């Protein structure tokens, strides 16, 4: 048990280092873009990245979750090899189809997602097809490393690609190269190519069997079960990615690339890096929750993760609100000062998102395909509706940000109730008091910034941060009391 605990802690550290190292490097890449191309460049960079991510999610059946879950539930190496053979063939075929589709429909995709028909942008989208091909290979390799809990190679692969990206963008800014969208596409090709190369190296170091076993696939019944689960995971993950892609395209069409860049700066500092933090947790949490078959073990796993995520997110979000001006100037540039209005609101949605992810993972762990699809599609349809209404009726950065808060709160209510239904040991009082106390100061500061400022802003900020710190510490104590 002690050895298991040591290995688990080592895995957590390596996984966290990989994801946060990657997050820091992506942050540096946005910093380089902000100084090189300004808000318009950041808007274009973010949209191209989202397009590549959407295509990768589609080609890999929803990202890494399907492969990680399939490997985690198989203990014998022969069974894992059979699963990998089937998964690799399916992902290879879907990846090839996706790349050909992007290359063929580049003019239409450019017009729809970038509101332009410029030849340079069309060529850029065609180059993105190559980046997608490399990203599909890298994503599959990362999923295999995660499934085998090979966290060191996983961390190295996660860091190496963004590091190459930062070097290229920093060099372009240093040499004052003319802003060219094709250079951005080349940067993505380099980033995903390096990640795929390191990931393939890590996979090659995994335990091996004879070639005969390596080439065999799953039996037909197991293959059909995997495809059904993978397709449901694909629909759920793709609905999220496409929703964000559509939202960005609507913002670009209605307000232009500069407005999109300002919004994306606030979104990146909140949602994007929260997602990366949750990805780090997922490398440990999903396999553990999948393996937990007793209600007591499920409850302990969920609560321990929920309290850890809540403690970290409350502390970080409160600090970001208080330090928003120097933070945005440091990580972007003074041109992005308006992004602070986005950050003030999105931190609330981020806390809801973090906790709902913990509870929602129960849907993945129990392989409830129908609920997975319906819940994620409903979430993203409500997000699209709220965003469309905010853009059409208000058109401000604040209104666009509030459009993310309401759908994420409703989804949080749903997944908490779902977890209670599946596990009778779960209670509402175990999480809602922490959430209410942790977000109340953020609601106050968001409304105060939109209306009349408080009479003593420094004192109000200090009191809000004190409340946030107290709730964060309380959640950390609750985390330590739960025993796995």
pLDDT tens, residue by residue, 274-305 = 776 776 676 667 667 767 778 888 888 899 98
pLDDT at 1: 41
CA angle 32, 34, 35 (to 5 degrees): 70
- Give the pLDDT score at 448: 81
Q: Which of 152, 138, 139 is nearest to 12 (CA)?
A: 152
- Who wins on pLDDT, 203 or 231? 203
Residue 214's pLDDT band (cuts 50, 70, 90): very low
Q: At a CB cut-off of 8 Å and minimum separation 6, what does 216 contact? A: 81, 82, 85
**What mean pLDDT comes out for the span 428-447?**
92
Q: Poorest-confidence range of 216-225, 318-327, 381-390, 416-425? A: 216-225
**Residues in the chain, how many?**
484
pLDDT category at 65 given cuts 50, 70, 90 is confident
Res 443 pLDDT > 60: yes
Q: How far is the C-alpha of 218 from the C-alpha of 252, rounded, in Å?
A: 45
Residue 83's pLDDT band, with cuts at 50, 70 and 90, is: confident
pLDDT at 351 exceeding the cut of 90: yes
Question: For 208-219, what is the mean pLDDT?
Answer: 53
- The mean per-residue pLDDT over the stretch 430-436 comes to 94
At residue 389, the pLDDT reads: 94
Nearest to 306 by CA among 375, 356, 272, 379: 356
The pLDDT-based confidence of 208 (bands split at 50, 70, 90) is low
Positive or negative: CA dihedral 240, 242, 248, 254: negative
Asked if 18 contacts 280 with a C-beta cutoff of 8 angstroms, the reply is yes
Give the pLDDT of residue 191. 96
The arithmetic mean of pLDDT across residues 173-178, rounded, is 82
Asked whether 179 and 120 are in contact (CB, 8 A), the reply is no
d(CA 261, CA 246) in angstroms, rounded, equals 15
Does the pLDDT at position 213 exceed 50? no
Distance, CA of 451 to chain centre: 32
Position 10 scores a pLDDT of: 63
How far apart CA 355 and CA 451 sit, in angstroms, is 29
pLDDT at 184: 92
């Amino acid at each position: 048990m002690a050895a298991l605990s040591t290995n688990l802690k080592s895995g957590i550290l390596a996984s966290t280092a990989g994801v946060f190292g990657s997050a820091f490097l992506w942050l540096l890449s946005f910093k380089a873009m902000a100084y090189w191309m300004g808000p318009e460049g950041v808007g274009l960079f973010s949209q191209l990245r989202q397009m590549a991510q959407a295509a990768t999610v589609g080609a890999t059946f929803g990202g890494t979750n399907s492969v990680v879950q399939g490997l985690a539930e198989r203990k014998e190496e022969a069974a894992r090899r059979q699963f990998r053979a089937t998964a690799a063939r399916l992902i290879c075929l879907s990846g090839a189809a996706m790349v050909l589709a992007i290359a063929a429909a580049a003019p239409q995709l450019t017009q729809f997602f970038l509101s332009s028909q410029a030849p340079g942008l069309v060529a850029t989208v065609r180059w993105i097809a190559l980046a997608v091909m490399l990203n599909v290979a890298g994503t599959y390799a990362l999923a295999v490393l995660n499934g085998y809990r090979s966290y060191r190679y996983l961390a190295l692969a996660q860091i190496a690609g963004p590091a190459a990206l930062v070097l290229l963008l920093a060099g372009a800014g240093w040499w004052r190269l003319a802003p060219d969208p094709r250079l951005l596409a080349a940067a993505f090709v380099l980033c995903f190519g390096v990640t795929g190369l390191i990931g393939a190296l890590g996979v090659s170091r995994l335990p091996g069997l004879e070639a005969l076993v390596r080439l065999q696939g799953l039996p037909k019944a197991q293959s059909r079960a995997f495809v059904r689960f993978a397709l449901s995971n694909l629909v759920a993950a793709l609905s999220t990615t496409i929703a964000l892609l559509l939202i960005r395209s609507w913002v670009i069409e209605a307000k232009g690339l500069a407005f999109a860049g300002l919004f994306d700066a606030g979104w990146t500092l909140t949602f994007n890096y929260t997602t990366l933090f949750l990805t780090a947790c997922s490398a440990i949490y999903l396999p553990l929750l999948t393996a937990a078959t007793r209600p007591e073990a499920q409850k302990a796993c969920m609560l321990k993760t929920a309290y850890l995520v809540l403690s970290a997110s409350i502390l970080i979000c409160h600090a970001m609100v208080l330090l928003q001006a120097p933070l945005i100037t440091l990580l972007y540039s003074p041109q992005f000062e308006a992004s602070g209005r986005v950050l003030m609101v999105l931190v609330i949605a981020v806390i809801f998102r973090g906790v709902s992810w913990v509870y929602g993972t129960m849907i993945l762990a129990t392989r409830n395909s129908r609920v997975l699809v319906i819940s994620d599609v409903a979430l993203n349809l409500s997000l699209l509706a709220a965003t469309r209404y905010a853009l059409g009726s208000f058109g401000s950065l604040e209104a666009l940000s509030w459009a993310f808060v309401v759908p994420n709160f409703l989804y949080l209510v749903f997944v908490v109730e779902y977890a209670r239904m599946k596990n009778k040991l779960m209670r509402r009082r175990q999480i809602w008091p922490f959430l209410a106390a942790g977000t109340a100061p953020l609601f106050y500061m968001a409304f105060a910034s939109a209306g009349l400022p408080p009479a003593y802003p420094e004192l109000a900020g200090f009191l809000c941060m004190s409340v946030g710190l107290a709730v964060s510490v309380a959640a950390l104590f609750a985390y330590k009391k739960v025993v796995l």
